[in-house]
Structure 1
Amino acid sequence: MKNIDDLYKKLEVLEQKQLYFQKEIQVLKQEIRHFHKSVEETVPVHQTDIPVQKIKVNKKEKTPVSFNFEKLIGENIINKIGIIITIIGVSIGAKYSIEHDLISPTTRILLGYLVGCILLGLGYKLKTKYLNYAAVLTSGAYTILYFITLIAYSFYHLLPMWFAFLTMCSLTILTVFTALKLNKQVIAHIGLVGAYAVPLLLSSNSGNIKTLFVYIGIINIGISYIAIKRYWKPLCYNAFSVTWILFISWFFKDYEHEQHFGIAFGFLNVIYLTFYSISLSYKLIKKETFLASDVVLILCNTFLFFCLGYLVLKNYLPTKNLTGLFSIYIALLHGLVAMFLYKQSVKDNNLQQLIIGLCILFITLTFPIQFDGSWISIFWIGEAAILFWIGRTQQKGFYEKFSYPLIILSFYSLLMYWFKFYDASGAETKINLFLNPYFLSSVLFISCMSFMNLINLKHKNILNYESNLYRIFSRIIPSVLIISIYLAFYFEIATYWEQLHQKSMLKDEMMINRSILKFKVIWLINYSLIFMAILNYINYIKIKNNSLAKVAMTFSSLFTFIYLTFGLLNLSVLRDLYLNNVQHATTYFIGIRYISHLFMGLLFYTVYLNRKIFSNVFFDCFSHLVLLWILSSELINILDLFTNLPSYKLSLSILWALYSLGLICLGIWKQKQYIRIAAIVLFGAILVKLFLYDISHLGTISKTIVFISLGIILLVISFLYNKYKNIIDNKID
């Protein structure tokens, strides 16, 4: 069969060359006639031996271009226009006779068949000498026979359905046979594609859409065979465009859900599978390189099928909930094609990747179409994990790149799910801490992200190692993992306290409500502190990633600042509630402070382990600032619990001064100049505070204590500088 197809191709090429040579021969004959005429006019008859090169030919009399253009119009364009006008005229005349009842239905049908047969006979008679002209007549004849058969069955019911169906199948076979026999694409174009216009020209709004679709299906089968057999791709493109235009026009104009559901959905499948098969056949049978036009055809065919099929199913009540299954059906079709291509050892990666990509796409679309909630995210991240694993371990960048948008989509979907359902659960229904479907969804998501992160660490993508996209997602994957772990527990803790708050509001206990909200803030901060402490420690012991350490240190600093501000403020409110003997206020209102300090200490310890990523100046200043802040808060807490002092100004000033003295000692001992300078700056701030703020609110005894204390501390500092001046002068950092 392959040799026969090759011979047909060669024959077609030779015929085209023959037409070209015929045109050249006509031009040469015309030039020879002009040549003889010029010789007769300029040279005596007896001078027959004149050299050819001396003969002057009047070039102005050559008109090959004009002649060729005329030949093109006269021999090719006019006959095609003529047959089209003939078909339209027959159609209009038939329609007029129908509307005005001029002749009987049987006579109309017989006359129509007679016109078609006459044209067919003329085409057969003239095919030897006038092949192109005969092809046009033949194609017009088949079009008329198609349309006569259609109206005989659909309008007049003169033919039974089986006979009309058999007749149109026979006409399709004859058209295919004639087009292949004469090797003329024009027969297929006018004869088959032109047949699409018949129902439009004869439309009487009869609503017999089933007959129309069967009619179009038969034509498409013929077109499919010819387009593949003779490699006539324009025929396929024309049929594709006309078929979808006809269906879309009918769907948005006359489609009714209850009446036309089966017809519409069935014909959608026929259209889709027909043109999908044609597209693949070009590649498999003809061994054609997969081109951009083929990609466009497959994509347009697939998305038209999906969009229209989705509308058909969604708007029909019994199938309203089957739209996700429809997406799976399309994905399954592409999956089967991909398997078939693999077994056929098709080496064109463009085709295989397109089919696999479409399969993945429609699998991805299934869950958002069919379901709501977290299962969308779980499905997407699971799919992303599989693709990432295949792409990275098998060094197939296509699969890995396809997982990237799925990671982003799944994470975004999970965030939306968290914000929506945790808020609703906290306000309306009771959920058990860590034993609920929301947390289960988070665990599944985290498991998939952990798997991808493990693959990312163990396997480097050699092919795409220098790619910016590869480097970006090598950082995005661990980042999404860390954020998802943090937020999964964060929302659980927040929801637990929110439910307690909702429960207390029902009892109208205002103070308890206030304390619960404070505990919520504190425990969320505590959780953030311990989370960062664990992350810092794991990175220090196991991962040892410098980039992760820097990011973790940044967030550790942020959560430390939140603890020193909002955390200590809320702890102070709980202390005040305890001191005011609010109902249900226990020593836990005080003890929570030291639990929080413990978490802060653990975080600070892990920051200390990773201190190498900071400069010594920054780390030391940060550490002493945190320590002084917490000591100041504890001093206020102790004064509130055990004394009735009206002000903290005196105590804080003395504390800061003593701490400044300690910094001086530390700076001298460690030989760190910046610590000593920081101590002096702190002491200067104390003096400014003392004279501008404290002194106006202090009594005589308090003023005496403050001034004596600060004076002694200053003297001690001065003594230390004098005693250790040699050390300070010799070794200054």
Structure 2
Amino acid sequence: MNEYIAVILIIVIAIIFNNLNTKIRKLEKEVSDLSSKINKKTLHPEPTQEVISTEEIITPLPTPIYEPQRETTALNENSETPPIIQKDWLSPVFEFLKQNILTVIGIFTLVLGIGYFVKYAIDKNWIGETARAGIGLCTGTAIILTGHFLRKNYKTFASIITGGGIAVLYFTTTIAFREYHIFSQNTAFVITSIITTAAIFLSYYYRSEVLIIFSLIGGFTAPLMISTGENNYVFLFTYLTLLNIGMLAVAFLQHWKSVGWTAYIFTSIYLFYWTVDLPELLSITFYLISYIIFYTFALIDYFRKKELPVPDILMLSLINGSSIIGLTYIFNELQYEPVIIFPLIFALVNAIFLFREYGKRNFRISFSVFAGITVSLITIAVALQFKAHLITSVWAIEAALLLFIWKKTGHKIFKTCFHIIFPLVIFAQLITWCEYFNAVNLNIIFNPVFLTSLVTIVSIGINLYLLKNSSEETETGTHTFFEDLITAASYGVIYTAILLEIIYHINSLPWAAITSVALLYSIYYIFILLFFRKKLSIAKDLQTGLIYLFLFLIVINISVATSSIVTDILSKQLQNSFYILHLLQWIPFIYVSLKIIPDTDFHQSKISYWIISLAFIVSVSGELHHLYVLATSHGMEDFYAVKNHFNILYLPIIWTILASIFIYIGLRKNIQEYNKIGFSLIGLMVLKLYAYDVWQMDNISRISAFIALGIILLLSSFTFQRLKNIIKNMVDTKEKNEENQEV
């Protein structure tokens, strides 16, 4: 029953197709007749009823004068050349898919339909194994012949049809070899090679770029189709080399860039798989052959048109980077030396073209590209010589190279590629840092992990410089969100790389010392960013955030880390001299408070005065507390007694002095927030004194504390009164002078 339904459907579809075809032919004939009539009217126009006199025909019309056009011309001459609008390189692909998506889906569906029909015939035992293969080969040939007859009027459609026929031939050969064992592997390889050669020939004959892409995909996947699982890489890459040479010839004759990129992608996948699966010396030969082929492919337009288009620049960058990764990996696995030989050889090749451009005094795009690649390869060679990690270093340098080329050419594709590869750099760097956990006895600085980080830091520094300059050249002078994210991540990578190296080499110290050193490094790192904030073009909002983070780290270091250091010193786990290292935090703290904060927008909100005052109070109180404990304690046995004595007797005095200073600054600079902070601190001190401290003191300490605090408060009050009178007299004098001037 199902067979009859299928036959009826095929007949109905054939009738409908025939009717539509007849109507389309009639419509084409009507359009052709209408077009011929219009052409006749255009060539032989009908005479008008009015007779035009000979004088009117001969008399020339006066030449019109267009004054506005002159002005426009003058403006155009004085104006700058309009920027070149960059075309989206993906638009031709989308345009092709938009116009031919039905054809692609149709041929794909047809191939599946034929496959299901053959499977159905097999299940019904209608045909044998040899007949099945014959049907597939005949069907593929019939589809190719159909495309051949349609090529004149429907070029793209015919190319896709022919590509589908080639796909049927490939799959039929594969099934006949793998499933039915009709012929041997060598015979299958010969057949697939003949199919590939015929497909390339048809592509060249039809001048169809679409067809040759189908052909190349089939040619590169043919070894997978007839594979038996044996690793015969020599045979495989000999075949691929011949296929790439054919690709290069077609690209040279027809100037089709897509064929080179298709071949590069498949060749790279095969090469990397061979490199990881079975690294051997022979694979280096095929790496070098592939490098020569694709490097030549990238330079076709350079020699032909004296220019380097965007795809060729990208190909030059990728072929150098991928070849270095593969070749160096093989050398490292086989433990051959020197590992820098291939980066230097490739650098020499690019340097030849660099000096060629220099000799012509041509310092344009080509010069910049060859210079960037040459410098990148030399940098990779230096990094590898010092045993830096391969992939992280190559990706980091490749990212900087792409951003440099974007800067020089202005083509957004290179910036897009940078945005893609930069997260990979961070991911690879994270993997590299994980080696700190298992590494033993690494040298200071000159170890593989930190040298890799150093390469990444240098490349990131170049990236930040290029991104900074690119923002200055825009109208708004601002980065996009993604660029701000890259900038923040870059500073984070630099910070983490140095921090992990420091922690690795001090990991034998007590945890308090490690924490203190890490916090001290963090404080200085933020201080350096703030110190060079203008040269680094750090946004104002980010500057404010860095200041808040800086003050927070200061408070944490004083209140938590330093207390642990004091405990370790008293318990003899650390030397007394280690405390001197901690005191270095006061240098950036004082400089940030006196120089950087007044020069920023930190004090736009009132809360900022309270935060910096809190940091100052905690820092001074904590530092004096630690110094007093270290000076008077003899060990951990009297640590808590000395600590409580300081908190009860000296801390209220310190807070009173600080409160007086805040009130003085508030009156002097007319900042009400400092006055509030000073009086709040006095209130807190009084509350602490009368609610807790008094009940913990002996009589002598109580008398001494009250007398000292009383004297300080009276002197402070007297000083404020004098200052208040001075300010009042200054204001009165100023008002009198203004009145006298008016008179």
- 1:537 shift after superposition: 2.7
The answer to whether the 8 A contact 2:129-2:180 is kept is no
2:401 aligned with 1:441? no
The answer to whether the 8 A contact 1:395-1:461 is kept is no
What is the identity percentage for the equivalent residue pairs of Structure 1 and Structure 2? 18
Q: Select 1:224's aligned residue among 187, 200, 205.
A: 200
Question: Residue in 2 aligned with 1:161?
Answer: none
CA displacement, residues 155-207 of structure 1 (integer Å, 9 cap, x when unaligned): xxxxxxxxxxxxxxxxx9x99999999x9989989998876546855875376
Q: Select 2:302's aligned residue among 342, 354, 363.
A: 342
> Following the alignment from structure 2 to structure 1, what is the Cα–Cα distance between the partners of residues 576 and 502?
22
> Following the alignment from structure 1 to structure 2, what is the Cα–Cα distance between the partners of residues 474 and 304?
32
Question: Residue in 2 aligned with 1:634?
Answer: 623
Question: Residue in 2 aligned with 1:565?
Answer: 556
Q: Select 1:209's aligned residue among 185, 190, 194.
A: 185
Amino acid at match of 2:614: L
> Following the alignment from structure 2 to structure 1, what is the Cα–Cα distance between the partners of residues 150 and 674?
96
Change (3 A) 1:598 1:350: closer
> Following the alignment from structure 2 to structure 1, what is the Cα–Cα distance between the partners of residues 530 and 139?
83
2:438 aligned with 1:424? yes
Question: Residue in 2 aligned with 1:680?
Answer: 679
CA displacement, residues 42-101 of structure 1 (integer Å, 9 cap, x when unaligned): xxxxxxxxxxxxxxxxxxxxxxxxxxxxxxxxxxx9xxx9xx99xx99x968959xxxxx
Change (3 A) 1:638 1:322: same
2:659 aligned with 1:660? yes
Change (3 A) 1:268 1:206: farther
The answer to whether the 8 A contact 2:543-2:600 is kept is no
Give SS of 2:226's match.
helix
- 1:494 shift after superposition: 1.3
2:692 aligned with 1:693? yes
Question: Residue in 2 aligned with 1:392?
Answer: 407
- 1:656 shift after superposition: 0.8
- 1:212 shift after superposition: 1.8
Change (3 A) 1:327 1:688: farther
Give SS of 2:181's match.
coil
- Give runs of aligned pairs for residues 31-110 of structure 1, distance below 5 A: 95=130
- Give runs of aligned pairs for residues 265-344 of structure 1, distance below 5 A: 265-270=237-242, 280=251, 285=254, 303-308=265-270, 310-311=272-273, 314-315=276-277, 317=278, 319=279, 333-344=293-304
- 1:404 shift after superposition: 2.9
> Following the alignment from structure 1 to structure 2, what is the Cα–Cα distance between the partners of residues 680 and 22?
95
CA displacement, residues 456-512 of structure 1 (integer Å, 9 cap, x when unaligned): 4456696x87799x63465456545544443333223212211xx1xxxxxxxxxxx
> Following the alignment from structure 1 to structure 2, what is the Cα–Cα distance between the partners of residues 94 and 536?
78
> Following the alignment from structure 1 to structure 2, what is the Cα–Cα distance between the partners of residues 175 and 412?
51
The answer to whether the 8 A contact 2:520-2:582 is kept is no
More moved, 431-440 vs 611-620 = 611-620
Largest Rg, 1 or 2: 1
CA displacement, residues 186-236 of structure 1 (integer Å, 9 cap, x when unaligned): 998999887654685587537621222122212322232223213467765
Question: Residue in 1 aligned with 2:425?
Answer: 410
Q: Select 2:517's aligned residue among 509, 512, 523.
A: 523
Give SS of 1:435's match.
coil
The answer to whether the 8 A contact 2:392-2:428 is kept is yes
- Give runs of aligned pairs for residues 436-475 of structure 1, distance below 5 A: 436-458=447-469, 471-472=480-481, 475=484
The answer to whether the 8 A contact 1:142-1:175 is kept is no
- 1:455 shift after superposition: 3.8
The answer to whether the 8 A contact 1:324-1:369 is kept is no
2:582 aligned with 1:588? no
Amino acid at match of 1:471: T
The answer to whether the 8 A contact 1:192-1:219 is kept is yes
Change (3 A) 1:455 1:306: closer
Amino acid at match of 1:653: P
- 1:678 shift after superposition: 1.2
> Following the alignment from structure 1 to structure 2, what is the Cα–Cα distance between the partners of residues 385 and 214?
45
Amino acid at match of 1:625: L
More moved, 550-559 vs 335-344 = 550-559
Question: Residue in 2 aligned with 1:32?
Answer: none
2:230 aligned with 1:256? yes
> Following the alignment from structure 1 to structure 2, what is the Cα–Cα distance between the partners of residues 205 and 410?
47
- Give runs of aligned pairs for residues 641-652 of structure 1, distance below 5 A: 641-642=631-632, 645=642, 646-647=644-645, 648-652=647-651
Amino acid at match of 1:337: F
Change (3 A) 1:347 1:467: farther
Amino acid at match of 2:632: F
> Following the alignment from structure 2 to structure 1, what is the Cα–Cα distance between the partners of residues 551 and 164?
79
Amino acid at match of 1:383: E
CA displacement, residues 497-536 of structure 1 (integer Å, 9 cap, x when unaligned): 11xx1xxxxxxxxxxx53xx33322223222333333333
- Give runs of aligned pairs for residues 371-386 of structure 1, distance below 5 A: 374-386=389-401
Give SS of 2:443's match.
coil
CA displacement, residues 634-677 of structure 1 (integer Å, 9 cap, x when unaligned): 33234322377552223211221222223223323333322111
Amino acid at match of 2:230: E
More moved, 359-368 vs 382-391 = 359-368
> Following the alignment from structure 2 to structure 1, what is the Cα–Cα distance between the partners of residues 395 and 458?
13
Question: Residue in 1 aligned with 2:537?
Answer: 545
> Following the alignment from structure 2 to structure 1, what is the Cα–Cα distance between the partners of residues 499 and 140?
74
> Following the alignment from structure 1 to structure 2, what is the Cα–Cα distance between the partners of residues 415 and 722?
61
- 1:245 shift after superposition: 6.4
Question: Residue in 2 aligned with 1:490?
Answer: 499
The answer to whether the 8 A contact 1:663-1:675 is kept is yes
> Following the alignment from structure 1 to structure 2, what is the Cα–Cα distance between the partners of residues 555 and 322?
54
Structure 2: which 5+ runs fail to align? 1-20, 31-109, 334-387, 634-640, 732-743
The answer to whether the 8 A contact 2:241-2:290 is kept is no
CA displacement, residues 565-614 of structure 1 (integer Å, 9 cap, x when unaligned): 2445443344344445x37x544144344344445445545534644554
The answer to whether the 8 A contact 1:654-1:710 is kept is yes
Q: Select 1:554's aligned residue among 539, 545, 550.
A: 545
Question: Residue in 2 aligned with 1:625?
Answer: 614
> Following the alignment from structure 1 to structure 2, what is the Cα–Cα distance between the partners of residues 594 and 729?
41
Change (3 A) 1:660 1:95: closer
CA RMSD of aligned residues (A): 5.4
- 1:417 shift after superposition: 1.2
Give SS of 2:446's match.
coil
- 1:339 shift after superposition: 0.9
> Following the alignment from structure 1 to structure 2, what is the Cα–Cα distance between the partners of residues 702 and 214?
105
> Following the alignment from structure 1 to structure 2, what is the Cα–Cα distance between the partners of residues 272 and 92?
39
Amino acid at match of 1:591: I
Give SS of 1:341's match.
helix
Change (3 A) 1:603 1:491: farther
Amino acid at match of 1:486: Y
> Following the alignment from structure 2 to structure 1, what is the Cα–Cα distance between the partners of residues 549 and 699?
42
- 1:705 shift after superposition: 4.0
> Following the alignment from structure 1 to structure 2, what is the Cα–Cα distance between the partners of residues 176 and 729?
101
> Following the alignment from structure 1 to structure 2, what is the Cα–Cα distance between the partners of residues 726 and 191?
102
Change (3 A) 1:376 1:250: same
Amino acid at match of 2:529: L
- 1:381 shift after superposition: 2.0
